Amino acid sequence: MRIAERSLSPVSFLLTSFFFIGRSEGMHIRRPPFRLSFLLTPFFLVPQMPFAFEKLIVYQKAMDFSDRICGITQTFPRGFYFLVDQLNRAALSIAANIAEGNGRFTIRDRKNFFGIARGSVQECVPLLELAKRRGLIGPEVIRS
């Protein structure tokens, strides 16, 4: 296997191989990949390139926030499942919409997903306030 093939993740390799459209006698045809040796290599041994959104600071902070919320909600009593579920979903939705928006091609699509992520941030605020009022979390948790 050549070095250039090893530097691509399997997903990137497939995208660049299968979606290449070339011309042959005036017609557009899809070229199949000529080297399928990456299929013989276990997936976990191929060096992975991070997606572009993984380098974004806002995405990293959103993932940290989601992780902290998951940790905090594990201590909630059994009767507050509705709050745990909604808070975890809203927190994870922030990072998920940033990632999905970054994968879109048009500016309008990107803005739409980034707007949804912003709405998810605002959704977390009253949920955390309710948890504070019910005595499930302290005021120091909200400030940090």
pLDDT in tens, 101-116: 998 999 999 999 999 9
Q: What is the band of 3 on the pLDDT scale with cuts at 50, 70, 90? A: very low
User: Helix (H, G, I), strand (E, B), or coil: what is residue 42?
Assistant: coil
Q: Are 29 and 22 in contact (CB under 8 A)?
A: yes
Domains of the chain: 3-45 (no CATH), 52-143 (1.20.1440.60)
Q: Are 86 and 125 in contact (CB under 8 A)?
A: no
pTM for the whole thing?
0.64
The pLDDT tens digits for 21-68 are: 344 444 444 444 555 555 555 555 545 557 888 888 999 999 999 999
